[in-house]
Amino acid sequence: MTGYILVFISAILVNNIVFAQFLGICPFLGVSNKVSTSVGMGAAVLFVMTLATTVTWLLYNLVLIPLNIAFMQTVAYILVIAALVQMVEIILKKVSQPLYQALGVFLPLITTNCAVLGVAILVTQKNYNLLQSVVYTIATALGFFLALVIFAGIRERLELYEIPEAMKGAPIALVTAGLLALAFMGFTGLIAVPW
């Protein structure tokens, strides 16, 4: 049980998917103008990443390995993630219109989010069992969510201040992201992961 807690905290803070592994940078920079949109994107990533990693873990261990075609992993994962996002979008549209309205804009963006594919591949490379994979994936998605919301909050606050013309837009966003990455590096010695 302690191992799961350590991996959970480590994936959120120490090995944050955005700041330590540099995955998911495109939505991190592109969708982080407002906290409300960041919360929506973070929730959608949490849901899709957990579902996609679970399905890809099952696919890898129950289909690709027994058929001795593990080299098809990346192609199979991309197809599964794209299909899952489309199915989730269709099901949400029919079952829960308010949830579809809340997440509908973000679901197509998740198809191209490299963090979803990256986590599925990392879980395979680390030889996690299914429970370890789900715990790691949820924690990683929460780390993405945390990074996105903090960054969006800072960017909203920056709108209230006088910023030199040369630093407006992307330059100040990149400097802010770098400072956040340095802040998250402070958690590096916090946890030694047992797996």
What's the pTM value of the predicted model, to 2 decimals?
0.87
For 13, 15, 91, the CA distances from 21, given in Å and listed in that order, are 12, 7, 32
Closest Cα partner for 79 from 95, 66, 60? 60
Q: What is the dihedral of CA 11, 13, 18, 23, to 10 degrees?
A: -10
pLDDT for 92 equals: 76
The total number of residues shown for the chain amounts to 195
**Is-contact 132 4, C-beta < 8 A?**
yes
The one-digit pLDDT tens for each residue of the chain (195 residues) are 778 888 888 899 989 999 998 898 888 888 788 888 888 888 888 988 999 999 999 999 999 999 999 999 999 999 999 998 888 788 878 877 777 776 666 777 777 778 999 999 999 999 999 999 999 999 999 999 999 999 999 999 998 888 899 998 889 999 999 999 999 988 887 776 555
Q: What is the dihedral of CA 108, 110, 113, 118, to 10 degrees?
A: -140
What's 19-80 look like in SS3?
CCCCCCHHHHHHCCCCHHHHHHHHHHHHHHHHHHHHHHHHHHHHHHCCCCCHHHHHHHHHHH
**Is-contact 54 136, C-beta < 8 A?**
no
**Is-contact 17 119, C-beta < 8 A?**
yes
Which alpha helices (DSSP H) does 62-169 contain, by range? 73-95, 97-103, 107-111, 114-125, 130-158
